[in-house]
């Protein structure tokens, strides 16, 4: 990924924020013909390994877990807030007409090695934690015990756990940091008015 210095994210806390706020990762794995990509929600554990570990599950019918042995190098892409930026939103454009359209976004590329965890205890714990995390905002959060035990047992038998042991990561936040302050804030204001509140806030906070 091309990362100009003014867009680089090097603070581990900022990288972890993007991953946790946007946990649906694109897992890129090698195949005999090139590469494949699977989109799965990940749990991030900062305490396991030097940079942390990602955990997820895939369908047992998905050939990924048999095609890629433990130790296979992989990449996971986490896309954060993003939106189109019109030059009309920059105050300076209306003075000298020297601006062009662009796209602002946040992204993290995680590199690591794959681990296959085909055991019921790991998968059950992972599913329980993911459920608690993503159901937390519901008025009456769903929990595994809401369903019959034999139904849950059957569902768990149909998935396989995976881990990605992180070896390196690179982050990019393209938030108009290369623009005048008035232009960055002008674009952020229009984004906020159009419902892109998360990206607008990130642009206001960017230095």
Nearest alpha carbon to residue 40 among 52, 53, 28: 28
Alpha helices per DSSP H over 62-168: 64-67, 93-96, 120-135, 149-157
Alpha helices per DSSP H over 46-136: 64-67, 93-96, 120-135
Phi–psi pair at 142, nearest 5 degrees = -70, 145
The confidence score (pLDDT) of residue 98 equals 82
The set of residues, in sequence order, having a beta carbon less than 8 Å from that of 164 and lying 6+ positions away, is: 27, 42, 53, 54, 55, 74, 76, 110, 112, 113, 114, 115
Architecture in CATH for domain 5-202: Roll (2.30)
- Give, for all 207 residues of the chain, the pLDDT tens digit: 999 999 999 999 999 999 999 999 999 999 989 999 999 999 999 999 999 999 999 999 999 999 999 999 999 999 999 999 999 999 987 888 888 999 999 999 999 999 999 999 999 999 999 999 999 999 999 999 999 999 999 999 999 999 999 999 999 999 999 999 999 999 999 999 999 999 999 999 996
The confidence score (pLDDT) of residue 96 equals 84
Nearest alpha carbon to residue 70 among 19, 119, 1: 119
Tokens for 74?
């992989």
How far CA 51 is from CA of 8, 16, 79, 165, in Å, comes to: 18, 10, 19, 8
Task: Tell me if 184 sits within 8 A of 175, measured CB to CB.
Answer: yes
Q: Which residue do the tokens 């946040």 mark?
A: 106
For the CA atoms of 127, 131, 133, 138, the dihedral, rounded to the nearest 10 degrees, stands at 180
Task: Tell me if 188 sits within 8 A of 203, measured CB to CB.
Answer: yes
The confidence score (pLDDT) of residue 99 equals 87
């Amino acid at each position: 990924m091309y990362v100009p210095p003014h867009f680089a994210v090097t603070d581990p806390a900022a990288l972890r924020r993007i991953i946790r706020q946007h946990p649906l990762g694109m897992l890129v794995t090698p195949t005999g013909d090139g590469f494949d990509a699977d989109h799965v929600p990940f749990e991030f554990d900062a305490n396991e390994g030097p940079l942390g570990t990602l955990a997820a599950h895939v369908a047992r019918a998905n050939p990924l877990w048999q095609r890629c042995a433990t130790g296979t190098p992989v990449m996971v892409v986490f896309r954060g807030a993003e939106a189109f930026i019109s030059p009309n939103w920059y105050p300076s454009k209306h003075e000298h007409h020297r601006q062009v359209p662009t796209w602002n976004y946040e992204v993290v590329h995680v590199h690591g090695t794959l681990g296959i965890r085909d055991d019921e205890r790991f998968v059950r714990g992972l599913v329980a934690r993911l459920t608690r995390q993503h159901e937390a905002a519901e008025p009456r959060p769903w929990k595994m015990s809401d369903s019959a035990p034999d139904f849950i047992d059957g569902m768990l038998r149909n998935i396989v756990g995976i881990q990605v042991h992180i070896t390196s990561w690179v982050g990019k936040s393209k938030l108009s940091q290369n623009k005048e302050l008035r232009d960055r804030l002008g674009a952020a204001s229009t984004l906020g008015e159009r419902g892109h509140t998360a990206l607008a806030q990130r642009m206001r906070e960017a230095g």
